[in-house]
Structure 1
């Protein structure tokens, strides 16, 4: 299904009374990347959608921005006549979810941020800007192999080439121009969601993976410290793609958090 402005989405719900979860994927991925989490949403209506220029969604004209990506989500909720939802975002999707919670507090019933960056060190910021420049020059192919080697633990990477390759092909199928537009948000727009005023006030769960140095546990704790009452969950022995590598490590704490909204 698509909205009039071209946002592709899947909607699963059986009753207007069901609480809603909205799932926001990461850079180079698409709404199908949430499949490992789907069993954990029993009792909820589920909304998955593709970011601009990703999956089946229309391409974006002009610079991608966090406000613009938040507006895409707000427009999708308007289209489906959804007043509020629990917003769950992975990586870049976590940045969008945080911005949406800041910009639309009355529409954000709860917030879950999974493996998403917070304030970076000067060195980390320089590194991501270097990777952005490489992607702008040569497209996703310039960075995908390094990314995949960092996103999975070595053992999983070696034992599951078909899963790794499926993600590789998804990233490589993303339009290079659109990929870079959203990569720039990931690299350059972090300041917009650090220590917002007023602060995010909805119930929140911030998740990180122990071995994910780009979106580290320390970042997760710092992020949670800016949200009153936020919970933190660290997936031990896992890396950035923990939702794919070990769904239970994400689904178990996520299910506990979501119980309050049923």
Structure 2
């Protein structure tokens, strides 16, 4: 399905077989809503599950002007408005986790629970050059040129060997991501900093990290949990895409967390 959200044609998939509370999944940089296929299937009998493509990703239109993570948060608010959802449980991974944090601050009354996976609260000054390099490389050589290094960070060698079909799907989505959508999202993450505002979040929060995540070390996700009162922190035996690599364990953690709050 497609709907215009803040001037951006946005693809979404809604699964509401159970007609239960809303549960929204937000994907990573260079991804799309398909990353959540398995988890959406797991939860759709008890929740109204929403997945969507972030602007400039998947089948959502690519913007031509710079945007911020706050803009991406407002995209989610507008999408929920268009679909008639007053509030939702929110699950965000990587870039999706940044959006989820921003959404919990900017639209607090609309967040029932917050689940953050393999994400961070700020880009340190010394790390800004990494995003500049990715922007330059994507625009010069294409997004596909960044895929090998990204997949190496995202998934452990054991998982890649055992599940080549999953790796291939993730790679295919990544290499077909809009260059400008990717570059502008990198620029948004380069400027992202909510470190001093995390104490404002009062939403029940679950934070999950991959033990082998080198791009976003577990300590970065734990720092978020430490700053949010009452937040729970868990580590899975995975790399950056922990909810995908350890999908059964993540689903069990999320299910228990949601059951305690529904």
Give the TM-score of the pair, scaled to structure 1: 0.91
Does structure 1 residue 246 correspond to structure 2 residue 249? no
* CA distance in 2 between partners of 1:98 and 1:8 (Å): 22
1:117 touches 1:214 (CA, 8 Å); kept in 2?
Answer: no
Q: Distance in 2 between matches of 1:202 and 1:233?
A: 17
The 10-residue stretch of structure 1 (246-255 or 77-86) with the greater mean CA deviation from structure 2: 246-255
Cα offset for 1:261?
Answer: 3.4
Determine if the alignment matches structure 1 residue 166 to structure 2 residue 169.
yes
Are the counterparts in 1 of residues 199 and 229 from structure 2 also a CA contact under 8 Å? no
| Map 1:48-127 → 2, pairs under 5 A | 48-119=51-122, 124-127=127-130
- How far apart are residue 249 of structure 1 and its match? 2.6
Q: Is the 2:62–2:180 contact (alpha carbons within 8 Å) kept by the matching residues of 1?
A: no
1:37-56 correspondence runs (5 A): 37-41=39-43, 42-56=45-59
Q: Tell me the residue number matched to 1:229.
A: 230
Structure 1 gap ranges (5+): none
Contact 1:199-1:226 at 8 Å conserved across structures? no
Gaps of 5+ in 2: none
Partner-residue secondary structure (3-state), 1:58: coil
Q: In structure 2, what is the equivalent of residue 31 of structure 1?
A: 33
Judge conservation of contact 1:110–1:202 (CA < 8 Å) in 2: yes
Q: CA RMSD in A?
A: 1.9
Instruction: Spell out, residue by residue over 1:113-141, the C-alpha distance to the aligned partner (whole angstroms, 9 max, x if none).
Output: 11112345555444343333322322212
Report if the CA contact (8 A) 2:131-2:187 is conserved: no
Distance 2:211 2:235 in 1: 6
Contact 2:198 2:228 in 1 (8 A): no
- Cα distance between partner residues in 2 of 1:51 and 1:126: 24
Q: How many Å apart are 1:3 and its aligned residue?
A: 1.3
Query: Any conservation in 1 of the 2:142–2:179 contact (CA below 8 Å)?
Result: yes
Q: Deviations over 1:136-179 (max 9, x none)?
A: 32221221101111211112223333321221111111111111
Aligned residue for 1:135?
138
8 A contact 1:243–1:250 mirrored in 2? yes
How far residue 243 of structure 1 moved from its aligned partner, in angstroms, is 2.3
1:219-257 per-position Cα deviation (integer Å, ceiling 9, x unaligned)? 111111111111101102x10122222211311111111
- 1:64 Cα offset (Å): 2.0
For the residues of structure 2 that align with 1:194 and 1:173, how far apart are their CA atoms? 32
**Residue by residue, what CA displacement relative to the aligned partner does 1:166-196 show, whole Å, maximum 9, x if unpaired?**
211111111111111112222x1221x2121
Contact 1:21–1:44 (CA<8 Å) still a contact in 2? yes
